[in-house]
Amino acid sequence: MSDRDPTPHTHDYRVLQREEIATLLAQWPAVAARLGGQPAQWTVQDVADGNLNAVYLVEGPLDGLCVKQSLPYVRVAKDDWPLSVERAYFESAYMQRTEPFVPGLVPQFLHFDATLRVIVMERLQPHTILRKSLIEGVRHADAARAVADFAAASLFHTSDISTPFERKFQDVALFSQNHDLQRITVDLVFIDPYQVHARNRYASPQLAAVAQSLRDDAALKAAVATFRNHYLAKPQALLHGDLHSGSVMVTQTDTRVIDGEFAWVGPIGFDTGMFIANLLMAWYAKAGHSGDTTGYRAWILEQIAVFWQRFHAQFLAHWNTHGGRGDGYPDSHFDATALPTVQAAFLQDVWADTLGFTAIEIIRRTIGFSQIADFGAVADVDLRARQQAAAIALARDLLLHPARYEDVQALVSAVPAFGLH
């Protein structure tokens, strides 16, 4: 898809109604055959719960499908926040680019309609969103490991280690056009939380002083600027761009990563940092949930270590098996003696980025526009604000004193010192 115009046929775009979905799918023989039977036998359920898209689950006699259409606005600010529908194109391109590297870890891509900006993919059943499971205190033993496998494979195989620059720059050329969602990322993640902005949504007066301290901290904002510029100018690999616990669907035996519409060629640590940050925030929020949460919070910290250690191991395994094919680290330059030192330095740099982006994701999810349901499930606003302030304190330390966190064990060991007990 990388050689196609990402903006065809938009003059014929319209927002679909639920009643139109079956008729639309019937036009595509392979899709209709997968459902089986006739359109009159198909049931269509509207299941959208996010801000950017319409999502339908379609059930037929043989199988089910997921149908996703990008909307021309943000749902929560429909009249005030228009948005390009082109993100569906980039999500479909991301799915097709990465699917060969991550079989069984993503929904199967089935069809993309360039006019209506509709993606048809495998329906995941009986999966639930990982964030929901974290809130409910359900343990999915393989989820962190599977997300690490996804991240290691998708990021390695689109990096300069594995990919010749000619192919890599096709990704850069295509996904650098994903302007609207990158503007959302740059503004909501990296800029808004550090200034007065109407989109910021922190609890006031409880977190007013904390928010002001972020705005007043020149050293903190300089650290954020470093990572903001890494995001903009460190094109290491094709990022998922929104790899949090709401973008992962799980059962006890299966884990899939969804929603790659924020795809972007950037620093590897952005994806890993975002996922770790959301596990950390689940840890902080869990103190305000009902029941005995002590054991579950300990399990969350274990999963952070599992995720990073598995990512590190799998990235190295891919490198040792498939490395040298790209122009970043050609085999001819590094023998078996020299390569481990190079690999260690590379992954330590990824860890440094991971820490920074972890911190920035925590701050934006507690001060900025897009709050998370983990904290939202804490009914006591004062308690919730104290939990968020504790998470922000950790984030500030990660940004200002990164040398304290030389590895993932140092991170998880330090977390309780910033927490509520």
Burial class (CB in 10 A: 0-12, 13-18, 19+), 169: middle
Residue 111 CA from chain centroid, whole number: 22
The reported pTM is: 0.95
β-pairing, 64-70 with 43-46? unpaired
| Residues 6 or more apart in contact with residue 6 via CB below 8 angstroms | 86, 89, 90, 93, 174, 177
Select from 186, 192, 390 the least CA-distant residue to 281. 390
Query: Of 122, 140, 165, which one is at a domain's C-terminal end?
Result: 122
Q: Report the alpha-carbon distance of residue 73 to residue 100 in Å, rounded.
A: 32
Burial class (CB in 10 A: 0-12, 13-18, 19+), 222: exposed
CA atoms within 13 A on the CB side of 121: 23
Residues 41 and 116 in one domain: yes
Instruction: Give Cα separations from 202 to 50, 90, 188, 192 (angstroms).
Output: 19, 31, 13, 12
Residues 87 and 144 in one domain: no
Residue 320 lies in a domain: yes
CB 154 within 8 A of CB 102: yes
Query: Of 88, 122, 156, which one is at a domain's C-terminal end?
Result: 122
Residue 311: CB atoms within 10 Å: 31
Q: Report the alpha-carbon distance of residue 241 to residue 216 in Å, rounded.
A: 28
Give me the domain span that covers residue 276: 128-418
Query: Of 70, 95, 122, which one is at a domain's C-terminal end?
Result: 122
Residues 280 and 224 in one domain: yes
| Backbone phi, psi, residue 42, to 5° | -90, 140
Select from 398, 309, 313, 306 the least CA-distant residue to 352. 398
The per-residue pLDDT string of the chain (421 residues; one tens digit each, 9 = 90 and over) reads 333 445 544 578 999 999 999 999 999 999 999 999 999 999 999 998 767 899 999 999 999 999 999 999 877 666 677 888 999 999 999 999 999 999 999 999 999 999 999 999 999 999 999 999 999 999 999 999 999 999 999 999 999 999 999 999 999 999 999 999 999 999 999 999 999 999 999 999 999 999 999 999 999 999 999 999 999 999 999 999 999 999 999 999 999 999 999 999 999 999 999 999 999 999 999 999 988 899 999 999 999 999 999 999 999 999 999 987 899 999 889 999 999 999 999 999 999 999 999 999 999 999 999 999 999 999 999 999 999 999 999 999 999 999 999 999 999 999 999 976 5
Residue 3 lies in a domain: no
Q: Please count the structural domains in the chain.
A: 2
